[in-house]
């Protein structure tokens, strides 16, 4: 009977040792998962900060972009006016030269 109790005790000790090893592995696995989750949280927070900074930069750039568009449109309009004015002056100048030439030649 002492031998059977000894065998039972040995088997219970083996079972307890297996449970202890399993718990240690589970603890290590959970610790690893928590560490990876912490890393993911850090990376996501960095992405959020970067996104916020980019949005702030874009918000600051928008008025400048709108001003440049307005200047471009105003410049194109001014170039159109200058072009028509130059064309009118060119025609007028060419007509004046033609008349002066006619007077000089005598026609």
pLDDT of the residue at 28: 92
Phi/psi at 106 (nearest 5 deg)? 100, 25
pLDDT band at 107 (very low <50, low <70, confident <90, very high): low
Mean pLDDT of the chain: 87
Rounded (5°) CA angle 54-59-61: 95
Both tokens of 90, joined, read: 């060119």
- Which of 9-18, 43-52, 76-85 is the least confident region? 76-85
């Amino acid at each position: 009977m002492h031998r059977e109790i000894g065998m039972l005790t040995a088997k219970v000790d083996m079972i307890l040792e297996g449970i202890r090893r399993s718990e240690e592995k589970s603890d290590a696995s959970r610790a690893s998962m928590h560490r990876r989750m912490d890393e993911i949280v850090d990376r996501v927070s960095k992405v959020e900060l970067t996104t916020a900074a980019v949005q702030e930069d874009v918000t600051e750039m928008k008025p400048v972009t709108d001003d440049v568009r307005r200047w471009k449109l105003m410049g194109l309009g001014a170039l159109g006016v200058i072009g028509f004015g130059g064309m009118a002056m060119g025609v007028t100048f060419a007509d004046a030269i033609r008349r002066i030439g006619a007077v000089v030649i005598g026609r």
